Structure 1
Amino acid sequence: MHTAQDIEQAIRAAANPDKAKTLSGFFKTGKGEYGEQDIFIGIPVPMTRSIVKQYLDTPLDQLEILLHNPVHELRMAALLCMVEQFKKADANRREAIYHTYLSNTAYINNWDLVDLSAAQIVGGYLEEQDHTPLYRLAQSSLIWEQRISIVSTWQWIRKGRFDDTLAIADILLYNKHDLIRKAVGWMLREVGKKDKIRLCTFLDTRYRDMPRTMLRYAIEKFSPEERRHYMQK
């Protein structure tokens, strides 16, 4: 069995200071920005994935320790490990991973951390369960929980199940944060890839009032003529 310290040593050994500066700017770590105080050491996601593959036997309590680390790539490593463990876990283990995940949303605190884990863990666990927890997350004051709520439905969109995506999109429709507007638009676009008529039906009664960023993401795959129609107020 490996420990949080084992993973941390392996991740830190791959640190790239020049890359860290680029990532810090990209993920908005400046004062007053959404990623303020997030610390990057400069490791791209593919490399983090590669390292994590060697530590998939790490106990959940050790991954939780890692998830509390201020270094972004270490939190990412913990989440990627949880995702891989979830895929092969039995029902009890999946439940434990899910509850650990939702107990630590304060540390899943950047959009890439959410986007690489929420659908697999939260969407995966709740797929055949009561979906009420997603609606509680959607109404949270924490933007990361709001983003988890909508991105988690990606798991179901892939299987042609759109009801929760559209219902949560309605809850978040007038959200003021750009990261939420983009996430909702992204998931609406994914719905449209599977069922364009369903997406258009949703948009037809909302597009005039929707935030423009959200709408642009939602109609990105539409023809130029269709985009012009929906971008009209």
Structure 2
Amino acid sequence: MSRIDECQQDLIQFIEEEKASMFPKFFKAFPGGYGEGDKFLGIRVPNIRKVAKKYKDFTFNELSVLIQDEYHEVRMCALFILVLQFEKAKEESQRKRICDFYLKNINAVNNWDLVDSTAHKILGAYLEDKKRDLLYEYATSNQLWLQRIAIIATFCYIRHEDYDDALKISKILLQHKHDLIHKAVGWMLREVGNRNLPREEEFLKVYYKTMPRTMLRYAIEKFDEPLRKKYLHGEI
């Protein structure tokens, strides 16, 4: 049995039938849903992480099989392994190889949980000391998952009190039609405000009346109640 087979067998032991029936609905894998066509085994994230840690030394050849698997949890395992390898990598050349592999298989990062657990930890982190043009290319791509990757990648910079790209990409995505983008942008704006409230409010005072309501609610979730109500009622 190959190591790939062993990894898949280790994942299978954590299958829960209840989750297997619930996940396709939760991740909108039905026809017309944002996750249309995806398949689920029914494995909880903590258990996927356990397996990923066991196989964290997988080669790119091994990961290339897992990351293109038809099952969501198998792809997630490959992505968790990739994050572990990136965080451990000390040489710039190795970080580049990991990020290049991630970008080569970006089509496999095709649901919000896969994006949210990797975009800032791999792509965002790799581009931190480099030009970030790719994030703007993704933001303007009209492809839902690439656009979510673009905004979530900026979480890496927000954590280091670098807010410019998060705010610029938020502006690009301000009138996006999908609520998954509304939530992601609102989340990143909230994270800016958690660290620098004046910077978030500077942005909100210009755009809060025209941004989608869900985006606004996410952005002001942690505000004091009187201030939050003023934004919701258009009284700023």
Q: Using structure 2 for the length normalisation, give the TM-score.
A: 0.95
Could you tell me which residue of structure 2 aligns to residue 83 of structure 1? 83
Could you tell me which residue of structure 2 aligns to residue 98 of structure 1? 99
> Which amino acid counterpart does residue 76 of structure 1 have in structure 2?
M
Out of 182-191 and 10-19, give the one that drifted further: 10-19
> Does residue 1:7 correspond to 2:7, yes or no?
yes
Could you tell me which residue of structure 1 aligns to residue 35 of structure 2? 35
Could you tell me which residue of structure 1 aligns to residue 135 of structure 2? 134
> Which amino acid counterpart does residue 70 of structure 2 have in structure 1?
P
**Could you list the per-position Cα deviations for residues 30-63 of structure 1 after superposition, in whole angstroms to 9, with x for gaps in the alignment?**
2211111111111111110011111011001221
| Offset, 1:6 | 2.8
Could you tell me which residue of structure 1 aligns to residue 164 of structure 2? 163
Distance 1:163 1:77 in 2: 32
> Which amino acid counterpart does residue 182 of structure 2 have in structure 1?
R
SS of the equivalent of 2:216 reads helix
Could you tell me which residue of structure 1 aligns to residue 114 of structure 2? 113
Q: For the Cα contact (< 8 Å) 1:3–1:59, is it kept in 2? A: no
Could you tell me which residue of structure 1 aligns to residue 189 of structure 2? 188
Name segments (4+ residues, structure 1) moved above 6 Å.
none
| Offset, 1:213 | 0.6
> Does residue 1:204 correspond to 2:205, yes or no?
yes
> Does residue 1:220 correspond to 2:221, yes or no?
yes
RMSD: 1.2
Equivalent residues in 2 for 1:54-93, closer than 5 Å: 54-89=54-89, 90-93=91-94
| Offset, 1:79 | 0.3
Distance 2:154 2:62 in 1: 28
| Offset, 1:14 | 1.9
Q: Using structure 1 for the length normalisation, give the TM-score.
A: 0.96
Distance 1:52 1:135 in 2: 31
> Identity of aligned pairs, percent?
45
Could you tell me which residue of structure 2 aligns to residue 229 of structure 1? 230
Distance 1:177 1:103 in 2: 25
Out of 61-70 and 196-205, give the one that drifted further: 61-70
Out of 12-21 and 110-119, give the one that drifted further: 12-21
Residues paired across the two proteins, number: 232
Q: For the Cα contact (< 8 Å) 1:208–1:232, is it kept in 2? A: no
**Could you list the per-position Cα deviations for residues 75-119 of structure 1 after superposition, in whole angstroms to 9, with x for gaps in the alignment?**
000000000000111211111111111122221111000000111
| Offset, 1:146 | 0.3
Gaps of 5+ in 2: none
> Does residue 1:50 correspond to 2:50, yes or no?
yes
Could you tell me which residue of structure 2 aligns to residue 172 of structure 1? 173
**Could you list the per-position Cα deviations for residues 138-183 of structure 1 after superposition, in whole angstroms to 9, with x for gaps in the alignment?**
1112111000000011111111110000000011110101111100
Distance 1:141 1:202 in 2: 23
Distance 1:101 1:139 in 2: 20
> Which amino acid counterpart does residue 179 of structure 2 have in structure 1?
D
| Offset, 1:9 | 2.1
Q: For the Cα contact (< 8 Å) 1:165–1:188, is it kept in 2? A: yes
Gaps of 5+ in 1: none
